[in-house]
Amino acid sequence: MSFALVTGASKGIGKSIALELASRKTDLLLVARNEELLRSLSENIRNEYGVNCHYLSLDLSAPNAPLQVFNWCRSNGYDVNILVNNAGYGLSGAFDKYSLEEHLNMMQLNMNVVVEMTYHFLPDLKKHSRAYILNIASSAAYQAVPFLSAYAASKSFVLQFSRGLHLELKGTTVSVTCVSPGATDTSFVERANIGAKGLELAGKFNMQPAEVAKIAVNAMFKGKTEVITGFLNKVGAALAWLLPKKTIEKASAKIYQ
């Protein structure tokens, strides 16, 4: 029996990806911090979709947490053929508004955990006739974003890491896909402390997590390298490529300052 392992699965895009996979009769392993939410979601998935669903409550930003996840799977005989690296968050505002510890914690979760999870699970993924890695980045990955500087840079890392790994694994049975959502109706904006202008803009262009999840899972199973969700987000990424960097960065600064 093979499982899809989803990090950050208790809410938002991670939860919706779990539900989308469950609707396709995929057995699930869910990892997140909130045990109560995980327990409730797991019960709902088992009852509604009739698939196996197990969970592990864990702060993935803690030292050696990815290894704990891997050992949990090994000790329970959970064979993973789909790895979804979704867990992450942002910090909005002036860089020096936050402590160094806060920045490093975000960077640990957004970047290092993705690398560590991939490193631990890749050898087993290669043993499958078909296996998938799905990394969740952000539309912010395509340019510098003042007042979201470290977050945007961390998601750019996820995007570049995914692109490189996708080509490295050509010829193997493992496909790597990176999905970059834009504004999505999740708790991201609250945790990131997005200001009034950012909230107003997000409210106009928000996508629903279920819609993002469907796009992400479809792209993963099709073996696509990368996908930006939503037409306006695709336009934004194209403009970030075509227009002078300072123009894009100044516009972004006005939104998040």
Dist CA 191 CA 198 (whole Å) = 13
Q: CB–CB of 186/13 below 8 Å? A: yes
Dist CA 34 CA 169 (whole Å) = 34
Q: Is residue 49 among the annotated active site residues?
A: no
| Of 49, 78, 132, 151, catalytic | 151
Burial 195-229 (b: 16+ CB within 10 A, else e): eeebeeebeeebbebebbbbbbbebbbeebebbbb
Phi then psi dihedrals of residue 148, to 5 deg: -135, 35
Dist CA 89 CA 124 (whole Å) = 28
Alpha-carbon dihedral of residues 46, 129, 64, 140, nearest 10 degrees? -80
- Residues serving a catalytic function are 151
